[in-house]
Structure 1
Amino acid sequence: MNVKKLISYLTCEKFEKEVFKSIEERYKCNIIKDAIIINIKENQEIILFNYGVLISWNVEFENIKFFMDFIKNFQVNSFEIPFIEELNYTFESEFKINFDTIYLNDLSSISKIAISQALSQNVKLDQFEKEVQTSIENNSNIPLQLAQTGKIKLTKKEISKKIGELFLVKSKINLHYDLLDTPEFFWEYPEYENQYEKMIKYLDIKSRVEVLNKKVEIIQELLHVLGDEQKHRYSSFLEWIIIILIAFEIVINLKDHFW
């Protein structure tokens, strides 16, 4: 059995629009819907998606490194450490996935793109999961502070920054949530959707998305808590201003009365 490497890379938030044109000028390739399939050498292909993902089909290390260096200038918000997932693939009469090996019954470019759609969603979901989990962990002391002291030990500026950070994470997930839906690619190639669905099931995408939704809800609750605290502090500030003004007016009136 001739087993080959199948590696998914998420290197940045997205690629600039010009990346497809530059790849076309340098490599033999073909653009199909939102993907471009690049022929590196015989039986070595890279499938690139504009949202920062590239899938390496049996590409040698030197060739993938050269390609990644080539597209580096087109990356937007590059990650210091890329998200990487490795699988194997081989050819067999029936399509199936078992023990991190994909058994392909079709080695066509369309079939590879169909499978790559699921693999690209998998690494993009890795990114979302890490960012949401990191955000929750970094702010886990806020509910603890409320439970122990009844208040949040942050300045007004720090609260505003926390609200901004949490909102950025939440809005990023919401804005790019469509990347986790069934791609439009399968409207034109419905005969390959079964392969995609089997990959999605194997990678546990749907249940992971449900967990991600729950974690985004936690971030929303943290936003509510911080927002309420900010409003409370502002209203308390106004109350003290009013108290001081009333006290000042009383002092002035007493002064006028006795003097």
Structure 2
Amino acid sequence: MARTCCLLLCRRNWSCVSDVARVSTFGALGYAKTEARSWFRGLGSFAWPHARSPACRFSSLPVKKRLARKKTVAEQPAPESCSLAVAYSTAEEYNLASLAKALQKQGLYEQKTLSDDVADVLCAAAKYKLDEEPRNMFIFREGSVVFWNFPEIERKAILQFLKPYEENSYSSTLVEQEIEALEFKHHEHRTRLVNGNIFLSPQSPDTDLEKYTFSNGMALSVKLAIWEASLDAYVESVESIIEDMKEGRTITMTREHVFRKTGELFSLRHLINLSSDLLDTPDFYWDRPALESHYLKVVRYMNIGRRTKVMNEKLTHCCELMELLSHHLEDKHHVRLEVMIIVLIMVEVVFECLHYAAKFF
């Protein structure tokens, strides 16, 4: 009897302790949510209506066999002594003129001038501070944006803000999958990139230009990652055709379909080789050797040169496949025409024979 009473008393006390802990937990969560709302109340103006976001032409199919590259995980918090620079690519292009007016009207970020010969990029800094480190973002016309020291909730709010000014937006899933992130911190010595960590020198004459240089390389890498995913989706879309060829089955593609798929390949090849800086160094760095060194280090660290070479090899193989299919379908078309001509000749011969027989018999 005494043992039963003790057990009941212990259960009742344990239940009380659990209730107190539960109340304390919910109270702490409520306090945290209240604090978060107060910190980012100024971001309420980012609740823009969703712009029409056409699906990416190359990335409409799911990518199953592509292995993700090893890179810094932006979702994990950086060490206390470091901050994160995170790059996204959300569209093929931004309307920078309209975006600059919207940022000025919104009032949370101050636009900054980098240099007279820096084109096709919009630099802005946050007017309010969360810590001693300033928050800068670089928005590139080719559809990429790089955030310096922005928390994740603010990054997502700005990405939502950019949607009305995007042209040919990528899917949200693709944007979240293909990101680049580097840790950065201030250091007494010269600015440099070491093992994926950016060290910024306080004695640098222009830190903004150095951040722009690192951002340029990161934006180029994340844009290339989008194109890599696009090509992988394209390759998967034609795998069934290759299997049909291997097994000797009838090719179901039409000549018009092959023509469109070939156009997609040449469009992607044009973007990589002619409309980007993947194959050469931008003119901006020619008379700035220090910045050029930073840019080339980012390019090497992100392995952009080798990735571009692999992309072009894959594109060449896909073009050869489409050329083979085109020749095959043309041959089938020619054979069909020849058969039709032969049939018409045979019909004409039969009619002539009937006419000859009716005339003499």
Instruction: State TM-score, norm by structure 2.
Output: 0.66
1:28 is the counterpart of 2:105: no
Q: Separation in 1 of the partners of 2:155 and 2:196?
A: 21
AA of the residue aligned to 2:182: L
AA of the residue aligned to 1:184: D
Provide the residue aligned with 1:183 in structure 2: 282
Please list every run of 5 or more consecutive structure 2 residues that lacks an aligned counterpart in the other structure.
1-79
Secondary structure, in 3 states, of the residue corresponding to 2:168?
strand
Q: Separation in 2 of the partners of 1:182 and 1:85?
A: 20
Q: Separation in 2 of the partners of 1:68 and 1:188?
A: 34
Please list every run of 5 or more consecutive structure 1 residues that lacks an aligned counterpart in the other structure.
none
Partner deviation per Cα, 1:36-94 (whole Å, 9 max, x = no partner) = 11101450011110111000000123332332222210011212221322221112214
Partner deviation per Cα, 1:185-244 (whole Å, 9 max, x = no partner) = 324544310000111111111111111110110121122012102211210121111011
Provide the residue aligned with 1:61 in structure 2: 152
Which of 181, 186, 196 does residue 100 from structure 1 map onto?
196
Which of 182, 206, 210 does residue 87 from structure 1 map onto?
182
- When residues 51 and 193 of structure 1 are mapped into structure 2, their CA distance, relative to the original with a 3 A threshold, is same
- Work out the percentage of aligned pairs sharing the same amino acid: 23
Secondary structure, in 3 states, of the residue corresponding to 2:179?
strand
AA of the residue aligned to 1:235: H
Provide the residue aligned with 1:49 in structure 2: 140
Structure 1 runs of 4+ off > 6 angstroms?
A: none
1:8 is the counterpart of 2:87: yes
1:198 is the counterpart of 2:297: yes
Provide the residue aligned with 1:254 in structure 2: 353
Count how many residue pairs are aligned between Structure 1 and Structure 2. 256
AA of the residue aligned to 1:54: V
AA of the residue aligned to 1:28: E
Provide the residue aligned with 1:165 in structure 2: 261
Partner deviation per Cα, 1:117-157 (whole Å, 9 max, x = no partner) = 100010011011111122122213333433331x642143x
Structure with the larger strand share: 1
* Cα shift at 1:25: 4.2
1:223 is the counterpart of 2:322: yes
Verify the 8 A CA contact 1:54 1:120 in the aligned structure 2: yes
- When residues 152 and 131 of structure 1 are mapped into structure 2, their CA distance, relative to the original with a 3 A threshold, is farther
* Cα shift at 1:22: 2.9
AA of the residue aligned to 2:231: V
Provide the residue aligned with 1:135 in structure 2: 234
Q: Separation in 2 of the partners of 1:192 and 1:88?
A: 19
Instruction: State TM-score, norm by structure 1.
Output: 0.89
AA of the residue aligned to 1:85: E
Provide the residue aligned with 2:126 in structure 1: 40
Worse overlay, 122-131 or 174-183: 174-183
**Which one has a bigger Cα radius of gyration?**
2
Q: Separation in 2 of the partners of 1:223 and 1:155?
A: 11
Provide the residue aligned with 1:154 in structure 2: 252
Q: Separation in 2 of the partners of 1:125 and 1:24?
A: 30
